[in-house]
């Protein structure tokens, strides 16, 4: 149950910001994106199995303005399919069956404050 103070503050905020609706239509919005959790730390990628890597960002990301690559040894880039997960900020990345070795996921995501966040997650595929 929401606390009364929060409800008052929330209602006031909504009322004031409603005036802004004249100017900016409300849509799904997002903020500066940082990965706060990754499935790679819990479920290592197995060799020769297609894998879905799940990343949790601290905000939603705009899929159409984002790109994700999986990178193999020698820094060869391969585009990866991405999809939005059920939870806010959840991003699914499809990896094809990979041979054992070192890899990286390189993501470039667009966040609500207009900042383009670019980063790398390195991982190992065990035999």
Partner 1 sequence: MYMQGLANFIDDFLGGLILICYALVVGSVLWRAVILRRRADHPVADQAILRSTIGILRSGSIALAALQGTKLVIKGMVLWGVLGELPMADYIGTVQFQAGLARFVLALGIAWLSGRLLLEPENRSLWIWLGALCLPMVVAGAWLVHAVGRFEHREPLMLLTILHQFAAAVWFGGVAQLVALWRLGNTEESARKFWPFAVVRFGILGIGSVALLLLTGLPLAITYVDSWSGLFGTGYGSLLITKVLLLVIALGFAFMNHLAGRRWRISGESGDIKRKVPYFIEAEAFILVGILFVAATLSSQPPSEDIAGNPELTATIPEVVEMFTPRIPRITSPSHEDLIAGEAGRVAVVKKIPSVAAKEWSDYNHNISGMFLTVMGIIAMLSYVQSPGFRWANYWPLGFVGLSIFLFFRSDAETWPLGPIGFWESTFKNGEVFQHRIATTLAMVLGILEVRARTGISSQRMKYMFPILCAFGGILLLTHAHAEFELKTEYLIQSTHVTMGLLAVMMAAGRWLELRLEPVDGTLQNTAFLSTGRIAGLLAILSMFLIGNIMMYYLEPLV
- Residues at the interface with partner 1 (CB under 8 A): 6, 9-10, 12-14, 16-17, 19-20, 22-27, 29-34, 36, 58-60, 62, 64-67, 71-75, 88-89, 102-104, 106, 108, 110-120, 122
Residue 100: count of CB within 10 angstroms of its CB: 13
CA-wise closest residue to 95 among 73, 69, 77 = 69
Give me the least distance between CB of 52 and partner 1, in Å please. Answer: 21
For partner 1, the closer of residues 39 and 58 by Cβ is 58
For partner 1, the closer of residues 49 and 124 by Cβ is 124
The Cα 100–Cα 64 span in angstroms is 31
Give me the least distance between CB of 16 and partner 1, in Å please. Answer: 6
CA-wise closest residue to 44 among 95, 84, 91 = 95
Give me the least distance between CB of 98 and partner 1, in Å please. Answer: 12
Give me the least distance between CB of 46 and partner 1, in Å please. Answer: 18
For partner 1, the closer of residues 46 and 90 by Cβ is 90
Burial of residue 92 (number of CB atoms within 10 Å: 0-12, 13-18, 19+): middle
Which tokens in the block code for residue 6? Answer: 């929060």
């Amino acid at each position: 149950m929401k606390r009364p103070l929060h409800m008052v503050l929330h209602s006031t905020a909504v009322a004031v910001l409603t005036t802004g609706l004249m100017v900016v239509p409300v849509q799904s919005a997002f903020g500066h994106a940082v990965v706060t959790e990754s499935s790679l730390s819990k479920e290592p990628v197995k060799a020769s199995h297609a894998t879905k890597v799940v990343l949790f960002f601290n905000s939603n990301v705009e899929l159409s303005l984002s790109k994700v690559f999986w990178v193999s040894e020698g820094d060869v880039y391969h585009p990866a399919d991405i999809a939005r997960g059920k939870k806010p900020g959840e991003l699914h990345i499809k990896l094809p069956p990979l041979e054992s070795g070192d890899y990286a996921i390189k993501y470039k995501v667009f966040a609500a404050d207009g900042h383009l966040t670019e980063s790398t997650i390195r991982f190992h595929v065990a035999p």
